[in-house]
């Protein structure tokens, strides 16, 4: 499976952000002919006030961006894991990934489970829960004869989710992100590689890059494809760009056969209410 990750720098102008992302996607498909492509978390809009981001949210499947993404997947003939966008559902908003097959049909929808509510060491505050509700479902889907697991950004810090995805048969785990510069420089590569090693999955970690919100906030970039042994197959530059890699599932089978950690996993069977 040949994959392309499209690393973008989004800010508050939704139409401009979407146009840049889809142009970069089209250029990558024309140049590299991938079968599968990934966009970052919040690629249509990042930053701004809660009210601005709420105004940029759309219903799924009735929003214009949903239809545009479906049309793009069909026109390019690819499976498109469309990062994430803000989804309205009644009075609620979710941070949602939508996946389309090469005919433009929806394959999967995942609402981000773990919300980024933190104050970083430099004093920058992120409160995702001011806008977004957490999802409640662990999601995998079938594409190109493979089982693919869904995660978004802050989910990376919760290995239980990745273990559950592997238990559900995941061979590839996709991680669209807007991972911050402050945390990313120390934790991004370490955590992405750890999740790949633990699950023996390919991890496609597609990040935002660069400054936004008037330069007050920044994302780390370094989008990467990591193999089931934890090797970094490809990594993006510190700018908007694409990164391409080919996934070798025979190699994955060999890794899982030689080191069958999933069969050895026992802690889930322990009764933690007992002592002694």
Residue 59 counted as domain residue? yes
Please state the φ and ψ torsions of residue 137, each to the nearest 5 degrees.
Answer: -115, 135
pLDDT of residue 206: 98
Percent of the chain with pLDDT over 70: 97
Q: Is 153 a catalytic residue?
A: yes
CATH of the domain at 158: 3.60.110.10
Residue 204 counted as domain residue? yes
Domain range for 13 is 2-261
Candidate list 87, 112, 150, 201, residue with the active-site label: 112
Residue 270 counted as domain residue? no
Beta bridge partners of 2: 246
pLDDT, tens only, 212-222: 999 999 999 99
Q: Is 112 a catalytic residue?
A: yes
Q: What per-residue string of b and e applies to 110-127 under the rule 16 or more CB within 10 Å gives b? A: bbbbbbbeeeeeeeeebe
Candidate list 41, 58, 87, 171, residue with the active-site label: 41
Candidate list 14, 58, 150, 153, residue with the active-site label: 153
Q: Is 41 a catalytic residue?
A: yes
pLDDT, tens only, 138-156: 999 999 999 999 999 999 9
Domain tally, the chain: 1
pLDDT confidence of 122, banded at 50, 70, 90?
A: confident
């Amino acid at each position: 499976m040949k994959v392309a990750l499209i690393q973008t720098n989004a800010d508050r102008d939704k139409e401009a952000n979407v146009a840049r992302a889809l142009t970069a996607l089209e250029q990558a498909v024309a140049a590299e002919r991938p079968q599968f492509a990934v966009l970052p978390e919040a690629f249509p809009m990042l930053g701004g006030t809660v009210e601005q981001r709420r105004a940029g949210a759309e219903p799924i499947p009735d929003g214009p961006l949903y239809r545009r993404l479906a049309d793009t997947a069909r026109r390019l003939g690819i499976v498109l894991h469309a990062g994430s966008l803000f989804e309205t559902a009644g009075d609620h908003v979710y941070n949602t990934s939508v996946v389309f097959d090469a005919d433009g049909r929806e394959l999967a929808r995942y609402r981000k489970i773990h919300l980024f509510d933190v104050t970083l060491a430099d004093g920058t505050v992120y409160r995702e829960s001011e806008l977004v509700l957490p999802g409640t479902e662990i999601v995998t889907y079938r594409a190109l004869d493979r089982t693919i697991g869904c995660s978004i950004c802050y989910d990376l810090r919760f290995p239980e989710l990745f273990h559950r995805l592997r238990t559900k048969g995941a061979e590839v785990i996709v991680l669209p992100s807007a991972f911050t510069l402050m945390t990313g420089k120390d934790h991004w590569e370490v955590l992405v590689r750890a999740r790949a090693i633990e699950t023996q999955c390919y991890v496609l970690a597609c990040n935002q890059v660069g400054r936004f919100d008037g330069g007050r906030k920044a994302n780390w970039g370094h989008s990467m494809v990591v193999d089931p042994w934890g090797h970094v197959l490809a990594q993006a530059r510190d700018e908007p760009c694409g990164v391409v890699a080919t996934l070798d599932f025979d190699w994955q089978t060999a890794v899982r056969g030689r080191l069958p950690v999933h069969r050895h996993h026992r802690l889930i069977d322990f009764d933690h209410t007992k002592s002694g």
